[in-house]
Amino acid sequence: MAAERIETRVGNRTLSLSNLDKVLWPRDGYTKRDLIAYYERVSGAMIPHLTDRPLTLERFPNGIDASSFFEKNVPKGMPDWVQRASLPSPGGTRSKITYVLCNEAPALVYLANLAAIVLHVWTSRVGSIDEPDFVLFDLDPGEQCTLKTLTIVTLAVRDALVGVGLSPLVKTTGGMGLHVVVPLTNGHSYEQAKIFAEIVARHVASQCGELVSLERMIAKRRAAAVYIDYVQVGHGKTLTAPFSVRARDRAPVSWPLDWSEVEAFKRSRTTVPADAFAKYTIRSVPKALEEQGDRWSGRSWKRAKLGTTIGRARKLWR
């Protein structure tokens, strides 16, 4: 039996959508129709964070409980109007990877129709692919880490960055952790960004003691600590895009936060980080976005130069 298809208009494109009633989140009842509707509603805020960034798709064609796969190369059958970029493989092989570029709302809806629940983006754009436009601090709590500990460490990262004259932004990952980023001016290399990320991570670890781990091997990390992943800064490394949905129960979303919300986590009765972030879902985020706007919008994106900042940080934290 052929899969049910409907045609719909998104922007200036006509899309053919299929299997809209397929349940992707079994315990919540959310369907592919819900996923598509969510991405269409938030596309105005999300597209600026995706534009010209190579995408890795995380697809769940039979729902979050079934097998899934990561896809870097453009999926078969993708229409010609969806933009793409061919880049050398980050692994150093001679082959190239042709990545999807999600630069308009119809492309985002098309990807949702492929059950690409999670969208992972590079920290650079194709016009300057070797120059990241932000530094990422991926704060990953261990299995026994509390919301209070994650909050303490996250605010320590913020304070360190503010202390050297920067204006960091923060968002949930959509899972257990938080992402802190520092927007950059043009012209920085990945090596510069990684050097700075390591300097900050080691400083925060020295300030927070047992609350922080810099150990790459999961088995060697303290389960109650926060792992600061500065190694995730690099050419071809990705992060969950702002407003991306995650393949977890309740369909949580990676949601840009105000720093006052992070401060409020210190007073929360919730102990598990993921429970505190669970209110940011495909059901709640579109309305929250309409009411509050995008905390990572252009007005908040205050770009910094790392050259003098690295020297200042080394001098202050020696």
Query: pLDDT tens for residues 274-288?
Result: 999 999 999 999 999
Residue (of 127, 137, 154) closest to 237 by Cα position = 137
Residues 157 and 199 in one domain: yes
For residue 276, tell me if it sits in a domain.
yes
Residues 265 and 194 in one domain: yes
Strand partners, 141: 226
Residues 164 and 313 in one domain: yes
User: Can you tell me the mean pLDDT for 65-70?
Assistant: 97
Sign of CA dihedral 12, 17, 23, 25: negative
Which of 122, 155, 183 terminates a domain? The answer is 122
Question: What is the C-alpha separation between 170 and 88, in angstroms, rounded?
Answer: 30
pLDDT for residue 1:
42
**31 CB neighbour count, 10 Å cutoff:** 17
User: Can you tell me the mean pLDDT for 74-103?
Assistant: 90
CB 198 within 8 A of CB 230: yes
> Per mean pLDDT, which range of 18-32, 53-67, 86-100, 260-274 is the poorest?
86-100
Residues 269 and 217 in one domain: yes
Query: pLDDT tens for residues 179-199?
Result: 999 999 999 999 999 999 999
Q: pLDDT band at residue 91, thresholds of 50, 70 and 90?
A: low
For residue 313, tell me if it sits in a domain.
yes
Q: Which structural domain, as residue segments, surrounds residue 185?
A: 134-239+248-282+293-317
Question: What is the C-alpha separation between 303 and 70, in angstroms, rounded?
Answer: 31
Residues 144 and 52 in one domain: no
Match 């999961």 to its residue by tokens: 218
Residues 97 and 21 in one domain: yes
Residues 37 and 60 in one domain: yes
Count of domains observed in the chain: 2
Question: What is the C-alpha separation between 232 and 96, in angstroms, rounded?
Answer: 22
Residues 152 and 115 in one domain: no
pLDDT for residue 223:
94
Residues 234 and 273 in one domain: yes
User: Can you tell me the mean pLDDT for 86-102?
Assistant: 86
For residue 83, tell me if it sits in a domain.
yes
CB 63 within 8 A of CB 26: yes
Residues 60 and 152 in one domain: no
Residues 142 and 272 in one domain: yes
Percent helix, strand, coil in the chain (nearest 5)?
35, 25, 40
Q: Is the pLDDT of residue 300 over 70?
A: yes
Contacts of 191 (CB under 8 A, 6+ apart): none
Q: pLDDT band at residue 93, thresholds of 50, 70 and 90?
A: low
User: Can you tell me the mean pLDDT for 132-141?
Assistant: 97
Q: Is the pLDDT of residue 74 over 70?
A: yes
Strand partners, 30: 25
Query: pLDDT tens for residues 205-231?
Result: 999 999 999 999 988 999 999 999 998
Q: Which two tokens stand for residue 57?
A: 């798709």
Residue 222 belongs to a domain with what CATH number? 3.90.920.10
Which of 122, 151, 172 terminates a domain? The answer is 122
For residue 128, tell me if it sits in a domain.
no
Q: Which two tokens stand for residue 147?
A: 């919301």
Q: Is the pLDDT of residue 201 over 80?
A: yes
Which of 122, 156, 187 terminates a domain? The answer is 122
Beta strands 30-31 and 23-25 are antiparallel
Mean of all residue pLDDT scores within the chain:
95
